Chain A
Amino acid sequence: MTRNRHLLGWLEAAPLAVILLGFLIAPIVMIVIVSFWGATEFSIYPDFQFENYAFLFSSPVTYKVFGATFKYAFITWAFTLSIGFTVAYFLAFHIRSQTVQIALFLVCTIPFWTSNIIRMISWIPFLGRNGIANQTLISWGVIDEPLEWLLYSDFSVILAFVHLYTLFMVVPIFNTMMRIDKSLLEAARDNGASGLQTLLHVILPLTKPGIMIGTIFVVTLVMGDFITVRFMSGSQRANVGRLISNDIGLLQYPSASATAVVLLCTVLIMIAILLRFVNIRKEL
């Protein structure tokens, strides 16, 4: 019977396993292999050399770009966490009717099912030189000339990240908050805890798994991004993803692969650290 269970389990999981093998594991293996290959201007050839890595680690650009990537990830994380936590807290503890709760939750999640590209494009009329933000600020007399740093800057990149990814914080945090036993909150209040104390000493610790899952999503999405940075910075800023996509554009696949391997290792190490704090399967 138990052998039967393992066999049946694998049979049912086979399609998933095949897809992951073919389109996840094999591509990773391929990238690792190609990262040791050589390249001419037009083609790549099999080889076993460390030149791609040597070049990568000796170039100051690499460190700068990795630094920028961490910076984007950290700032985006801080914003999405504080906004996401506040929104989830409001939904979970201040909305009394379940119907309203579901409706408002859906309002927060619907943008996730629409196009990221369009959501990025939609910032242009806001942030442009003659955009809504500048026109409004000028008409209020706050500034005399249009601010140049609103669009095509670190500011617009991070704004777009926060806009795109905050719901990855809202959903898991809301999910864990909804499982908090309400009697714990009553107990805290009965024992004389203020609202803030309850928040800090009861709700926050119990919400940690949700925060971790949200963090994993946001950090990996930002670290692996190449399109938001390119589009929102008007190609004036760089992160690791753009470094890879530039190499791809120049057909320098081996060097793109080497960068990709380093990026993947960085991301996986960060996730391994984060996963020490949370058991994902139990939290669903």
Chain B
Amino acid sequence: MERRPRSFYVLAAFFGLFVLFLYGPILTIGILSFQGPGGGLTFPMNGVSTYWFRDLFQEQAVGDIWGAFRRSFGLGLMVMITTVVISVMAGLAFRKKFRGSGILFYAAITSLVIPSILISLGVGLIFNQLGLKVHWATSGFGAQLTWTLPFGLLIMFAVFNRFDKSYEEAARDQGATAWQTIRHVVLPIIAPSLIGVALFGFTLSYDEFARTLLTAGSYNTLPLEIFGMTTNVTTPVIYALGTLTTIFSFGIIAAFLLAVWIMGKRRARLGSDAGRGV
């Protein structure tokens, strides 16, 4: 093995600092959330306790954290499933280079780069003028999709750019119908990437703030609830909440990554099961 150049160690140190920069703050509030009952928002630690976590499970003076969590979780699942289904369909569509696909593609890119507050404001205005009530499951749901779908679509582009068309041709030559080809050949091959799309769909929705702000209505999602707390909660209870929801996010991410990993292992052992459909 070639010897490492000196620049390697400099860059490795830089990378280490970058990782510290990324994770340091969140670790700090993780530690601070174990403040003693009299502790404040900064160090020093005033004893160590789980007081603030227990406090979270008690009746809060403001808001409804657990209701917000349930709503965010439900909305995340809704957005996740919708994002996967719509992205796959659109990914398949874009391979056909249908007329007008360019416009649709630019609309999707616009959806990604448009300042989020415009979606919030515009959707809010439309619902308002139509006399409809904004609600997290209707206007909030649609507004979040404008954020998750472009990511799903870009992942599908990346997937299909690397897709070997000969698998499909082989299936067709053997007499598979268009639907059978998709169901038994294409979908199994792209399955791991779909887990990636699902991960984006769920986590981006679960943490979405700006596009949900004016579109969630009177029942807050968790990020809105947390933001509300920042203005009137001055105890480490907010750190405890931050720690819990971050641990929850890490758990979700780990579950998705594990699923991809297991799928890869299985595939390496058995070979692709694409085309083995009954």
User: Contact residues of A with B, CB < 8 Å?
Assistant: 5-13, 15-17, 19-20, 22-28, 30-31, 34, 83, 86-87, 89-91, 94, 96, 104, 106-108, 110-111, 113-119, 121-126, 128, 130-132, 135, 163, 166, 195, 216-217, 220, 223-227, 231, 241, 244-245, 248, 253, 256-257, 260, 263-264, 267-268, 271, 280-281, 284
Q: A107-B22, A113-B207, A244-B117 are in contact. List 15 more A-B contacts (CB 8 A).
A: A15-B89, A27-B125, A87-B18, A111-B26, A113-B199, A115-B246, A118-B226, A119-B25, A125-B29, A128-B41, A220-B113, A223-B115, A227-B209, A264-B115, A284-B157
Q: Which residues of B contact A20 (CB under 8 A)?
A: 104, 107-108, 111, 146, 149
Q: How far is the CB of A22 from chain B (nearest CB, A)?
A: 6
Q: How far is the CB of A16 from chain B (nearest CB, A)?
A: 4
Choose one: A117, A216, A260; the contact of B121 (CB below 8 Å).
Answer: A260
- The interface stretch among B60-68, B95-103, B167-175, B270-278 is B95-103
Residues A28 and B209 in contact in the complex (CB < 8 Å), given A87-B15, A114-B249, A281-B105: no
- Centre residue among B14, B15, B230, B252 by max chain A CB count within 10 A: B15
In contact, B250 and A110 (Cβ under 8 angstroms): yes
The reply on B23 being an interface residue by CB < 8 A is yes
Q: Interface size (B, Cβ < 8 Å)?
A: 90
Which residue in chain B gives the minimum CB-CB distance to A271?
B113
The reply on B190 being an interface residue by CB < 8 A is no
Which residue in chain B gives the minimum CB-CB distance to A253?
B125
In contact, A121 and B230 (Cβ under 8 angstroms): yes
In contact, B15 and A104 (Cβ under 8 angstroms): yes
In contact, B115 and A113 (Cβ under 8 angstroms): no
The reply on B245 being an interface residue by CB < 8 A is yes
The CA-CA distance from A22 to B42 in the complex, in Å, is 45
In contact, A114 and B203 (Cβ under 8 angstroms): yes
Listed A/B pairs (14) with beta-carbon separation below 8 Å: A5-B97, A19-B145, A24-B146, A87-B14, A110-B253, A114-B249, A121-B29, A121-B230, A125-B28, A128-B41, A130-B43, A220-B114, A227-B209, A241-B117
In contact, A15 and B42 (Cβ under 8 angstroms): no
Q: Which residues of B contact A90 (CB under 8 A)?
A: 11-12, 14-15
In contact, A118 and B96 (Cβ under 8 angstroms): no
* 5 tightest A-B CB contacts, nearest first: A27-B122, A224-B115, A9-B98, A12-B93, A122-B25
The CA-CA distance from A260 to B111 in the complex, in Å, is 15
**Residues 222-262 of B contacting A (Cβ, < 8 Å):** 223, 226-227, 230, 238-239, 242, 245-246, 249-250, 252-253, 257
Which residue in chain B gives the minimum CB-CB distance to A257?
B121
Residues A34 and B86 in contact in the complex (CB < 8 Å), given A121-B238, A132-B43, A248-B214: no
In contact, B245 and A108 (Cβ under 8 angstroms): no
Residues A231 and B246 in contact in the complex (CB < 8 Å), given A16-B86, A24-B110: no
Which residue in chain B gives the minimum CB-CB distance to A34?
B125
Which residue in chain B gives the minimum CB-CB distance to A19?
B145
Q: Which residues of B contact A116 (CB under 8 A)?
A: 207, 209, 223
Q: Which residues of B contact A223 (CB under 8 A)?
A: 115
In contact, B15 and A244 (Cβ under 8 angstroms): no
Choose one: A11, A27, A34; the contact of B123 (CB below 8 Å).
Answer: A27
Q: How far is the CB of B48 from chain A (nearest CB, A)?
A: 16
Which residue in chain B gives the minimum CB-CB distance to A8?
B96
Q: How far is the CB of B77 from chain A (nearest CB, A)?
A: 15
The reply on B75 being an interface residue by CB < 8 A is no
Q: Which residues of B contact A244 (CB under 8 A)?
A: 117, 121
Q: Which residues of A contact B107 (CB under 8 A)?
A: 17, 20, 24-25
The CA-CA distance from A264 to B143 in the complex, in Å, is 17
Residues A114 and B11 in contact in the complex (CB < 8 Å), given A15-B89, A108-B22: no
The reply on B137 being an interface residue by CB < 8 A is no
Residues A23 and B146 in contact in the complex (CB < 8 Å), given A10-B93, A117-B226, A125-B43: yes
Which residue in chain B gives the minimum CB-CB distance to A118?
B242
